[in-house]
Amino acid sequence: MKRQRHSRILATLGPASSTPERIRELFEAGADVFRLNFSHGSHEDHAARYHTIRQIEKETGRSIGILLDLQGPKLRVGTMKDGRVTLETGQKFRLDLDPAQGTSQRAYLPHPEIFAALEDGTDLLLDDGKLRLRVDSFGQDFAETTVMVGGPLSDRKGVNVPGVVLPISPLTEKDLVDLKFGLELGVDWVALSFVQRPGDIREARELIGDKAWIMAKLEKPQALEHLEEIVQLCDGVMVARGDLGVEVPPQRVPVLQRQIVRTARAAGRPVVVATQMLESMISSPVPTRAEASDVATAIYSGADAVMLSAESAAGQFPLEAVSIMDSIIKEIENDPSWRTILEANHSTAEASTADAICCALRRVASILEPATNVAYTTTGFSALRASRERPIAPILALTPRVETARRLSLAWGVHAVPCEDVSDLGEMIDHATDMAAQHEFAQAGDTIVMIAGVPFGTSGRTNLLHVATVPQK
C-alpha cells in the first residue's frame, strides 16, 4: 500500500480503537505507525493490539511500526479530605511526607526527590499548571509555600517542577517491567518519557541495545539545555507539547517546537510533533480551523510525523481523526510553497561520504525527476540520511531486515520493504527496478536513482549512487 504523502501519521490505540476491524480501518485511513501507551491498559490489551497489527502487516504487505510509550515518573500529591479542597491565592500551603489526607492547609507529596532538589523561590505547578505555589522554605521532608494561583485541588493531581533537574531516573519499576514485556513482544520504537539529560538516553540504551530504536520525548525544559547531545544519542525525537506546555509559558511552545524540529532534521533523526493536534475531535467529527493549521505548521516545518493521542485512543471519532489528518497532510504537500519552505529550511550536510552521496541524490533527483529513489539499507542508516535531504520523489528503502523496515515506517518519505540481500551491482540494479515496479513506484521506462553501500552488506557505509531505467518486461 503506497501512501500518497511524505509525512507520516502516528496513531495511539486505546478503548476506542482496540478491535481488529477498527485497527485495520485506521491503517487503511492513513495510520503508518501505532502507539501503545503503557500509561493505560494491561499487558494483555497491548499484546492483543500488537498481534492484530502484525496480522494486518502480513495481509497488506506494508511494514507497520509499533511504538511503546513508557509512562515514566508520575509525580502526584496524595488524597484530599472529601476528595477535594480549595486553595486561596495568597494563603500558605505545606507539602510534606505525612501520608495523612490533605486539607486546605497541607497535602501529602510522596516524592522526597522533589524536596531534595528545591530552592527558595522555586515554583511548583499542580494539576497541569492550574495551581501555582511559590516555595518559601523547605527541608528534606517538607516545603512551605505561598499559593500564587489558587483553585480546587483533588486527589492525586500531578506536580511539575519547572526549571529544576530532579535526581530521578526516567525509568520507574513499572517502566522496567513494561519495557521487558514490550521488547519480548517485538516493538520497533520505545518512547522514553521524562528525559532531562543525555545520561537518561544512555541509561535506556544499556537496557534496550539494538532491540528497538529509542525516541526521546522532549517534555522537560531541562532537556532543551542539552538538546543537540540528546538528539545525537537517540534515534528519534517527540515534541511532547503536553507537559512541555505546562512547564514553559504557552507562547514559548511554538518557538521550542521549531527549535526541536530543526535540530532533529539537521541530525537526520525522525521527529514527531504530538499532543492536542486535533483535540476537539475527541468529541467532534471535524477539527477546529486552528487545529488544522497546527497540523499544517508541523508539515510545513518538515516534521517526519504528527501524532494522534486521545483522538484515536479514546475519542468518539478515531477513524475521522486519522482521515482528516491524512487529508491535511496531502493538502499541504500539494501546496507549491511547501517545497520552497522545505528547501529554505534545509540544513548543511555533514562532511561525510554518506551525506555527500545523499546530497547528490537530492540534486540529481531535482534535475532528472525520477519516479522514485531507492536506498539499499541494512540498519536503516542510508534511508535515514536520504530522508534527511527531503528529496522530491519518495524513497523506496530495500532492506534484508524486517525490523529495519518497520522502524523506518516513521521516517519522512520512506516506504520500506523487506527483501533479500544483493551481492553485486548488476543484481542491485535488477532488484531495485523490479521492486520499484512491483510496489508501484515506477513503471517501464521510468528513471530511478539508487544509493547503497559497497561492499554490499556493510552497514553505515553509503558510498554509491547509480541512475537506472526500469526495463520493459
Q: How much of the chain is in helix, strand and coil states, percent to nearest 5?
A: 40, 25, 35
| Whether the Cβ atoms of residue 272 and residue 306 lie closer than 8 Å to each other | yes
| Whether the Cβ atoms of residue 323 and residue 30 lie closer than 8 Å to each other | yes
Has 241 been annotated as catalytic? no
Task: Considering the candidates 217, 241, 265, 385, report the single residue annotated as catalytic.
Answer: 217
Has 217 been annotated as catalytic? yes
Distance of CA 7 to the CA centre of its chain: 12
* CB burial of residue 229 (10 Å; 0-12, 13-18, 19+): middle
Residue showing cell 541495545: 209
- The CA distance from 361 to 376, in Å, is 13
- The closest of 287, 290, 293, 279 to 323, measured between CA atoms, is 287
User: b or e along 231-263 (b: 16 or more beta carbons within 10 Å of the residue's beta carbon)?
Assistant: bebbbbbbbbbebbbbbbeeeeeeebbeebbbb
| pTM greater than 0.85 | yes
- The CA distance from 29 to 19, in Å, is 15
- The CA distance from 277 to 205, in Å, is 30
3-state secondary structure (DSSP) of residue 470:
coil
Give the 3-state secondary structure of 123-167: EEEECCCCEEEEEEEECCCEEEEEEEECEEEECCCEEECCCCCCC
Partners of 134 in the beta sheet?
Answer: 123, 146
Per-residue pLDDT tens listing for the chain (473 residues): 789 999 999 999 999 999 999 999 999 999 999 999 999 999 999 999 999 999 999 999 999 999 999 999 999 999 999 899 999 999 999 999 999 999 999 999 999 999 999 988 999 999 989 999 999 999 999 999 999 999 999 999 999 998 888 999 999 999 999 999 999 999 999 999 999 999 999 999 999 999 999 999 999 999 999 999 999 999 999 999 988 989 899 999 999 999 999 999 999 999 999 999 999 999 999 999 999 999 999 999 999 999 999 999 999 999 999 999 999 999 999 999 999 999 888 888 888 999 999 999 999 999 999 999 999 999 999 999 999 999 999 999 999 999 999 999 999 999 999 998 888 889 999 999 999 999 999 999 999 999 998 887 666 678 999 999 999 87
Residue 63: phi, psi to the nearest 5? -65, 135
For residue 457, the model assigns a pLDDT of: 64
Has 94 been annotated as catalytic? no
Task: Considering the candidates 76, 94, 252, 330, report the single residue annotated as catalytic.
Answer: 76
Provide the 8-state DSSP code for 281: G
- Angstrom distances, CA of residue 49 to CA of 72, 108, 167, 190, 311: 21, 37, 35, 16, 17
- The CA distance from 238 to 235, in Å, is 11
Task: Considering the candidates 35, 241, 388, 461, report the single residue annotated as catalytic.
Answer: 35
For residue 345, the model assigns a pLDDT of: 85
Q: State the DSSP string of 198-255.
A: HHHHHHHHHHHTTSSEEEEEE-SHHHHTTHHHHHHHSSEEEEEHHHHHHHS-GGGHHH
| Whether the Cβ atoms of residue 133 and residue 121 lie closer than 8 Å to each other | no
State the cell numbers at 177. Answer: 517491567
- The CA distance from 101 to 84, in Å, is 10
Task: Considering the candidates 12, 145, 263, 275, report the single residue annotated as catalytic.
Answer: 275
Pairing of strands 33-37, 65-69: parallel
Has 76 been annotated as catalytic? yes
- The closest of 9, 32, 7 to 299, measured between CA atoms, is 7
Residue 394: phi, psi to the nearest 5? -65, 160
- The CA distance from 421 to 186, in Å, is 22
- The closest of 285, 413, 393 to 3, measured between CA atoms, is 413
